[in-house]
Amino acid sequence: MTPEEIRSQVATIKWHHSIDLGHGIVTHGQDNSVKKLARLRLPESFAGKTVLDIGAWDGFFSFEAERRGAKRVLATDSFVWRGHVDWANKRGFDLSKRALGSEVDEMEIDVLDLSPENVGTFDVVFFLGVLYHMKHPLLSLEKVSSVARDFLVLETAVDMLWTKRPAMAYYGGDEVGRDATNWCGPNPAAVVAMLQTVGFRRIEIVAGLRSPIFRLAKGAYYWRKHRHQFWGTARTDRIVVHAWK
């Protein structure tokens, strides 16, 4: 593809990820993907590793795993790629893959359909920004664990931060981010406990909770900019967890 062709097609897509496609072309996604990448604390190299990216969306993290030398990357998605988000679909992933000349494999499959029989098993699994969208979070993690041979990188929103006991909030509507696809908000202790339950032996929170001041400022920002519910945002945060079998 020529830079002109890439640039013209990029302009027709509403992006989630911010992806550098070369030639000075960077997609303007709602997600600060580069900042999130730094917070994930991924290994510098995936040489010789197989990587599964669950909920790949536009594919930023799939392509990053490939760039870091993974011998195979499989990007999976269902909800976004099948157009269940009213403004999103698979076009961003498809265009990025062509523009980057990527060899990332792809499969449309729901999280609850993941199994060694359906997708195989992988050295490294990404489960980024997906858990809190699951109606059945523990079952979802069981499915994720079944295809993870060694190492899981999980990034998720968390709630119920005032208690150190494993606890989880249930969202019956759009009370968080005005997004009815947000179903649950486990606290960090619940995330760790669920990962232990599904078979991970060593678990480390590598990016933990920000300060209460940060969360209050975040709540005010999203209320002013997007009219998100103030307390629904201010009481939550996000964490990154590394887990090993």
Three-state DSSP class for 127? strand
Query: What pLDDT, on the 0 to 100 scale, is given for residue 133?
Result: 96
pLDDT in tens, 194-239: 999 999 999 999 999 988 888 888 878 778 877 888 877 888 999 9
Query: What pLDDT, on the 0 to 100 scale, is given for residue 176?
Result: 82
CB–CB of 185/163 below 8 Å?
A: no
pLDDT in tens, 75-122: 999 999 998 887 889 999 999 999 999 999 999 999 999 999 999 999
* Domains of the chain listed by start with CATH number: 3-210+240-244 (3.40.50.150)
Name residue 101's amino acid. Answer: G
DSSP output for 156-211: EEE--TT-SS--EEE-SSSTTTT-TT--EEE-HHHHHHHHHHTT-SEEEEEE-PPP
Q: Give CA–CA dist 140/186, Å, rounded.
A: 13
If one compares 73 and 220, the residue with the highest pLDDT of the two is 73
Task: Give all strands of the β-sheet with 237-244 in edge-to-edge order.
Answer: 105-108, 72-77, 50-54, 122-128, 148-158, 237-244, 202-207
Q: Rounded to two decimals, what is the model's pTM?
A: 0.94
